């Protein structure tokens, strides 16, 4: 009997130890436990070691406080111009209050999904197709703001909303593809025309620069030719001047030598006639004869007679 009593005691001790161990709870990082006592909310356990009263206390919910991502399936929405599209969205949210999350709504994820679908329909219903396709950021901002306000009583904070895909109907996609193709062809034609325009401008500018340079070269050549001709004329003038100077110097030397030799008036008269003969020998049509030409003629006759008499003797 003693052995059976000891076994039963040991069994109860083990049971008590297991119960006490099960009442020890360790809450990990980024988590929170909602504790109920006798079926009513008692407190929220945060990170650390906690104890609960056996049978009386119960962990109602273990809440993950990390930011979570939910990818919802495509939802049919109708735009303002009556185009039905399929849009799927992604919602990023974080639980900020474990108590409100536990007791605020029965199924928070389903609630967020339905709320996202209705909010998306309301926003897209006020926009046309083209505006919907080009206003993703605006739609995301409006949805995040409205969802954040709506989920605040549930202890949920919506941090970000993204439209994953926007799928218009097949005829709309085909029309958009044709429109994009036409737009690309138009841009290509514009770029080609601008390229040809720039090419023509560059060619014209090149020809203009070439003509300007040619004109400058011709101008410089004319200037150099004019300077060369001027230098040549100056040299020719200087040459003629020096020749005249030499002739005058030679005449002056001849006259000086005649004077030094003691030539009389007869010799000078003869030299005058020789000079007159040289003047008349040219192509001049007029000849100016000195007024004392008769005296010079008489002197010439006397000289001729004087030369003849010695010859006859």
Cα-based distances in Å from 217 to 15, 194, 205, 223? 117, 34, 18, 10
pLDDT of residue 255: 67
pLDDT of residue 149: 93
* 223-234 confidence digits (pLDDT tens): 888 888 888 888
Q: Is residue 204's pLDDT more than 60?
A: yes
- The structure tokens listed for 8 are 């039963």
Model confidence at 302, pLDDT cuts 50, 70, 90, reads: low
Taking phi over 0 as left and psi of -120 to 50 as alpha, with beta for the rest, 189 belongs to alpha
pLDDT of residue 162: 92
Model confidence at 304, pLDDT cuts 50, 70, 90, reads: very low
pLDDT of residue 292: 53
CATH superfamily name and code, 67-168? Band 7 domain (3.30.479.30)
SS3 content of the chain, % helix, strand, coil (to 5): 65, 20, 15
Distance separating alpha carbons of residues 96 and 111, to the nearest angstrom? 17
Q: Report the range of poorest mean pLDDT among 19-28, 129-138, 258-267.
A: 258-267
Considering Cα of 224, then 229, then 234, then 239, what sign does the dihedral take?
positive
Q: Is residue 291's pLDDT more than 70?
A: no
Average pLDDT over residues 175-200: 86
Judge contact between 91 and 137, C-beta under 8 A.
no
pLDDT of residue 240: 79
Q: Is residue 310's pLDDT more than 50?
A: no
Average pLDDT over residues 108-112: 90
Distance separating alpha carbons of residues 133 and 284, to the nearest angstrom? 108
pLDDT of residue 273: 55
Considering Cα of 109, then 113, then 116, then 122, what sign does the dihedral take?
negative
Q: Report the range of poorest mean pLDDT among 270-279, 280-289, 290-299, 302-311.
A: 302-311
The CATH 3.30.479.30 portion of the chain extends over 67-168
Average pLDDT over residues 158-165: 91
Q: Tell me how far the alpha carbon of residue 270 is from its chain's centroid.
A: 99
* 6-38 confidence digits (pLDDT tens): 778 788 888 888 888 878 888 999 999 999 999
- For a pLDDT cut of 90, what percent of the chain falls above it? 27
DSSP sequence for 53-64: -TTTEEEEEEEE
Q: Is residue 96's pLDDT more than 80?
A: yes
Q: Between helices 136-151 and 108-124, what is the axis angle to 10°?
A: 140
Average pLDDT over residues 91-102: 93
pLDDT of residue 312: 45
Q: Is residue 280's pLDDT more than 60?
A: no
User: Is the whole model's pTM more than 0.75, yes or no?
Assistant: no
pLDDT of residue 306: 47
pLDDT of residue 19: 81
pLDDT of residue 158: 94
pLDDT of residue 154: 92
Which segments of the chain are extended strands (E)?
24-27, 31-37, 40-45, 48-51, 57-64, 67-71, 75-78, 84-95, 156-167
241-273 residues labelled b (16+ CB within 10 A) or e (exposed):
eeeeeeeeeeeeeeeeeeeeeeeeeeeebeeee
């Amino acid at each position: 009997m003693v052995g059976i009593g000891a076994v039963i005691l040991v069994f109860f001790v083990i049971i008590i130890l297991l119960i006490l161990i099960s009442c020890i709870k360790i809450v990990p990082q980024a988590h929170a436990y909602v504790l109920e006592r006798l079926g009513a909310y008692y407190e929220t356990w945060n990170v650390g070691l906690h104890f609960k009263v056996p049978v009386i206390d119960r962990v109602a919910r273990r809440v993950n406080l990390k930011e979570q991502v939910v990818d919802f399936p495509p939802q049919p929405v109708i735009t303002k111009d009556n185009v039905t599209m399929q849009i799927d969205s992604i919602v990023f949210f974080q639980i900020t209050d474990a108590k409100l999350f536990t007791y605020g709504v029965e199924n928070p994820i389903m609630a967020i999904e339905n709320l996202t679908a209705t909010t998306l329909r309301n926003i897209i219903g006020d926009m046309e197709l083209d505006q919907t396709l080009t206003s993703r950021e605006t739609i995301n901002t409006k949805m995040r703001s409205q969802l954040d306000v709506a989920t605040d009583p549930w202890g949920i904070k919506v941090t970000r909303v993204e439209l994953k895909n926007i799928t218009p109907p097949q005829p709309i996609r085909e029309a958009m593809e044709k429109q994009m193709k036409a737009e690309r062809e138009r841009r290509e034609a514009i770029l080609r025309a601008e390229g040809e325009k720039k090419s023509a401008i560059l060619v014209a500018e090149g020809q203009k620069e070439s003509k300007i340079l040619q004109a400058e070269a011709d101008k410089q050549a004319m200037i150099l030719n004019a300077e060369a001709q001027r230098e040549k004329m100056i040299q020719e003038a200087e040459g003629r001047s020096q020749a005249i100077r030499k002739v005058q110097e030679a005449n002056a030397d001849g006259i000086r030598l005649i004077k030094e030799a003691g030539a009389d008036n007869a010799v000078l008269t003869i030299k005058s006639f020789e000079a007159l003969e040289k003047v008349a020998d040219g192509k001049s049509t007029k000849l100016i004869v000195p007024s004392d030409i008769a005296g010079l003629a008489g002197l010439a006759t006397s000289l001729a007679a004087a030369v003849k008499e010695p010859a006859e003797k």
